Amino acid sequence: MGPKPWPGRFEILPGLVYLPVLTAIHMTREEKFMQEAITLSQKGMDNNEGGPFGCIIVKGDEIVGRGNNKVSSSNDPTAHAEVTAIRDACKNLDTFQLTDCEVYTSCEPCPMCLGAIYWARPKVVYYANNRQDAADIGFDDSMIYDEMNASLEERKIPILPLGRQEALKVFQQWQHKDDKTEY
């Protein structure tokens, strides 16, 4: 006779054991928040708003921002889940800095989202799927990572300097502006 079953465990067929998924009761605080991000990814996908990505921003124990990928429904290539959640959190908190906030995202952030996250300055980022998982379903960011390491002359999209002298004048004005909001 096989091992004695314990609560929540039973054999489906001889040797094949079923262990139920953790319920919310057994989940950590972080796992509960991650589940919310995953739920957003599912809802957005089911509603044909964009790819299967969801994100929440948490401050303390409160969700202050929510987002799911809306690239195809909004015709906005920047409407990734993380960017959408950051915009929502910043609007709700009336700030452009997410200091003391946590980011929970259903997938490791792409280079664009990672940049937005660093500009927002949260204290931590949790992710579920990794970049290889995303690549496996058609969301491969490896070319962008490669482009970031390539010199300007080697990039696939030409990036050419133009008008620097005039643009520097504005930068110099910014540098001496007394009433600027630094970030």
Q: Residues 10-26: pLDDT tens digits? A: 445 555 554 455 555 68
**Taking the mean position of all CA atoms in its chain, how far away is CA 140?**
15
What residues have CB less than 8 Å from 183, skipping those under 6 apart? 96, 97, 119
pLDDT at 24: 58
Give Cα separations from 86 to 16, 62, 169 (angstroms).
Answer: 44, 14, 31
1 has a pLDDT exceeding 90: no
pLDDT at 8: 47
Give catalytic status of residue 82 as yes or no. Answer: yes
- Output the pLDDT for position 15: 55
Tokens for 151, please give them: 């010199």
Residue 152 is given by DSSP the state G
In this predicted structure, the answer to whether residue 106 has a pLDDT above a threshold of 70 is: yes
CA pair distance 59, 69, nearest whole angstrom: 21
From the candidates 31, 62, 82, 166, which is the catalytic residue?
82
pLDDT in tens, 118-144: 999 999 999 999 999 999 999 999 999
Q: How many angstroms separate the CA atoms of 55 and 37, rounded?
A: 5
Which residue's entry shows tokens 């079923």?
Answer: 18
DSSP state of 29: H
Q: What percent of the chain has pLDDT over 70?
A: 86
Kindly report the average pLDDT of the chain as a whole number: 91
How sure is the predictor about 86, in pLDDT bands with cuts at 50, 70 and 90? very high
- Nearest Cα to Cα of residue 32 among 68, 65, 66, 63: 63
Q: According to the model, what pLDDT value does residue 23 have?
A: 55
Residues 150 and 71: their CA atoms lie apart, in Å, by 26
How confident is the model over 32-70, as pLDDT tens digits?
Answer: 999 999 999 999 999 999 999 999 999 999 999 999 999
Of all residues in the chain, the percent with pLDDT exceeding 90 is 85
Non-local (6+) Cβ contacts of 58 within 8 A are 33, 64, 101, 102, 103, 104
